[in-house]
């Protein structure tokens, strides 16, 4: 890969990381102040932070999670020892996004999905939130990405 190609790939990864951060903010707000996700997205996209984000990834991820929260909660409930309604809203938002990426973004290696979720949990969550997020998403990866997970574990 050329230097320009590496720079472009790195910029794309950073833009996706910013998109995830915005998505977690939106999902957090959705829990505390329920309103249509498109309104929340519109408000967040006006923020200067949004200029650095992959807006398409942000909207796709937010829309998918907002529309399928119950489905993702059932996955979280299977792999966590805290019922989703009892979760801290930040951890809940991070887990929703992580489960979405594991189940719906096969082009994204499962380790990347988990690592991105851990960074969000460390940055915005409670002191040890990342440990819980890691445990839940690692267990979920076994079910949602069995071939990829198994290859790395053998």
pLDDT in tens, 63-88: 999 999 999 999 999 999 999 999 99
What topology does CATH give the domain 3-149?
N-utilizing Substance Protein B Homolog; Chain A (1.10.940)
The residue ranges of every structural domain in the chain are 3-149
Is the pTM higher than 0.85? Answer: yes
pLDDT digits (tens, 9 = 90+) for 20-58: 999 999 999 999 999 999 999 999 999 887 889 999 999
Neighbour-count burial of 5, counting CB atoms closer than 10 A to its CB (0-12 exposed, 13-18 middle, 19+ buried): exposed
Q: What is the pLDDT of residue 78?
A: 96
């Amino acid at each position: 890969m050329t230097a320009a190609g590496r720079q472009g790939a790195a910029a794309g990864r950073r833009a996706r990381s910013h998109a995830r951060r915005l998505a977690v903010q939106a999902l957090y707000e959705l829990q505390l102040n329920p309103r249509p996700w498109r309104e929340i997205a519109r408000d967040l996209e006006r923020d200067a932070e949004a200029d650095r984000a992959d807006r398409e990834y942000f909207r796709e991820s937010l829309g998918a999670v907002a529309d399928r929260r119950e489905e993702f909660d059932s996955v979280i409930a299977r792999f966590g020892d805290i019922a989703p309604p009892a979760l801290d809203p930040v951890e809940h938002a991070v887990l929703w996004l992580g489960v979405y990426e594991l189940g719906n973004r096969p082009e994204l290696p499962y380790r990347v999905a988990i690592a991105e979720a851990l960074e969000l949990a460390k940055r915005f969550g409670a002191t040890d939130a990342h440990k819980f997020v890691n445990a839940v998403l690692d267990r979920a990866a076994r079910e949602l990405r069995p071939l990829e997970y198994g290859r790395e574990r053998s």
